[in-house]
Structure 1
Amino acid sequence: MAPHVQTFPSSQLPSHIHHLPSSSHRARKTPDGKPTDLDKNCDLFSFVQYDCRIARPNEDNCPVVCAPVKRFFRVCPTKNGGTFTAETTSWEYLNALSKGGDAVSGGGTQLEIGGGAAGPAQTGR
């Protein structure tokens, strides 16, 4: 059985990333010893997944309908020289809306998964 994962509103993500996921409750810090700021310290990545469903499962040869689902995540440096990754899809949309935007245009690096050549493509930051 998978371990319990704490759930919380996406608006609280910036405060939740400051604590290591262990019982020690140690704080996570950037290489300069400061708390992590998702916007300033972390690179934005995205990829597209597909949610596929059988249109009419009780019929033979029925079509499979797939809809793209764009996911965002941030890769953040840590004080010990490593990194941690946080899925930020909901938070990115909330953050864009709070800044007066209507969608996430996203800087950073975009990963294209499937179909074409795999690998990062720089989209600016």
Structure 2
Amino acid sequence: MTYVVTENCIKCKYTDCVEVCPVDCFYEGETMLIINPDECIDCGVCEAECPAGAILPDTQPNTEFWVELANTYSGQWPNITSKIAPLADADSYKDEAGKYDKYFSSKPPSGD
């Protein structure tokens, strides 16, 4: 089992989860974070820390897509190991549905 970051993270990118991860298995994209499934030790501490409720165990229904996304981008995006500010207007996007099709970016963070 591993934990996955789901659509709720897109356009929010809160990093409370990164701060508590004991193995630094989070990776940062332009619009969301992911968890590397090969590095996650299944401790679950990140799940409770996510203000957007975006982190779930991969045993939950409909998480296969997010595991595949993490497998793809954990080798392309930079590792993130400390808390940073969320995206601008994150709170206004927190509960929006359908964010993947509207806002997902395969790019790494811009470095602004």
TM-score for the superposition, normalised by structure 1: 0.22
More strand by share: 1
The structure carrying a bigger helix percent of its residues is: 2
- Larger relative contact order (Cα-Cα within 8 Å, sequence gap ≥ 6): 2
TM-score (norm 2): 0.24
- Larger C-alpha radius of gyration, 1 or 2? 1
